[in-house]
Copies of this chain bind each other. A is one copy, B any other.
Amino acid sequence: MSEQSPTGVPPVAQDVLLARAYLSRVAEPPAPALARLVAEIGPVEAARRVHEGRVSEPVAGETSARRAVRRAEADLAAAAAAGARLLTPEHAEWPHWPFAAFEVSGRRELAPPLALWVRGPGRLAALCEQSVAVVGARAATGYGSHVAGDVSAGLADRGFTVVSGAAIGIDGAAHRGALGVEGPTVAVLACGVDRAYPAAHQMLLERIAGSGLVVSEYPPGSVPGRHRFLVRNRLIAGMAAGTLVVEAGLRSGAQRTAADATALGRLVMAVPGAVTSGLSAGCHRLIREGALLVTRTEEVLEAVGRLGLDLAETPGSGIERPTDGLDPVAAVVHDALPARAHRETRWLAMEAGVPIGAVRVALVDLERRGLVEHCDGRWRRPRGDEQ
């Protein structure tokens, strides 16, 4: 294994790579004690001590079961064979800034990853710079899939990376939405990046690895497990500036991702739906608990986007009425005039309850707007005015 640096930055030393590969397999994430040790004494010395069993009780608790497993070279070779590589904090493309939240969260379950196995041409730090996690239920409805795909396409079209978990349902729709506009997307797996899981998404994963990035903290060959899906979710939340939940039941992985995002100080957004849909119940609860309700791409951009650059425009009502912008007196006078009759100014004053002088002023304005016509000393609405 050798590391090529495309940016002129010195390549990562082979002993560091081997140490990180060993550490990546020795502990089941999250491994907060091991992460602290590595931060303190560096990956090479940490790997040596772990392998020799010369570690504190907390670190031993996380590593003793697998400390004898020495597969670092084999894992790096398996990754290379699958077109993947090991990405470490020593690499220039490690997303230090977004991942700093793991270090400061202080929560055991939000320990930072020790390394990431990645497959694809994307550079992770750059992809994370402007990114939104779009997640949700596996058993998504057509509505949820439509919204996930639509919003993700809009985000990707504006250069935002769509981060998701490659699952059936909302996740898949989100990735496809981004790929459909040839935009950036990152899939974070709960198994090795050399595995196609779910099997139905084999082609989708190939497409993501072809233009974006498939990411996992589990070494090649690792199988997915329920626990790993939950642990993986912190990485999805941690890579993105905000997490958008499109459809989710009251108990779901997406809720966990949202909770992680909140704990990491990231924005949580949710798409509403029918209150009669159990798959929107999780979204509604998130909104009631403080998540931002969003209905379209622009609102997501406004929340996570660059200030002043990605502001959502005020939505148009779609319907402009000729009576828009009338002052209150003119509105009352206009209302008072029957649809198909002529009326005198004095009658209008009586009907509208407005002094006759004010009625005259209002009629001038209404006439100027084409809302009334003067005819033989009386007023009427023009034909075709259905107001």
A binding-site residues for B, Cβ under 8 Å: 26-28, 60-66, 69, 109, 143, 146-147, 225-228, 249-251, 271-276, 278, 280-281, 284-285, 287-288, 290, 292-293, 295-296, 299, 315-319, 323, 328, 331-332, 335-336, 349-350, 352-356, 358-359, 387
Contact = CB atoms under 8 A, between A and B. Distances in A.
A287 B281 contact: no
A100 B335 CA distance: 29
Task: Tell me which of A272, A280, A315, A352 has the highest count of chain B C-beta atoms within 10 A of its own C-beta.
Answer: A272
Contact of A273 (B65, B272, B281): B272
23 contacts: A27-B353, A28-B354, A61-B355, A61-B358, A63-B353, A65-B352, A65-B354, A65-B359, A66-B350, A69-B350, A226-B323, A226-B331, A226-B335, A227-B328, A227-B332, A249-B319, A250-B316, A272-B274, A272-B275, A272-B293, A281-B315, A288-B292, A290-B350
Query: How many copies of the shown chain assemble into the complex?
Result: 2
A143 B274 contact: yes
Nearest to A323: B226
A355 B228 CA distance: 18
Given A60-B355, A293-B288, A271 B275 contact: yes
B318 A278 contact: yes
Contacts of A358: 61
Contacts of A225: 332, 335-336
Nearest to A62: B353
A171 B276 CA distance: 20
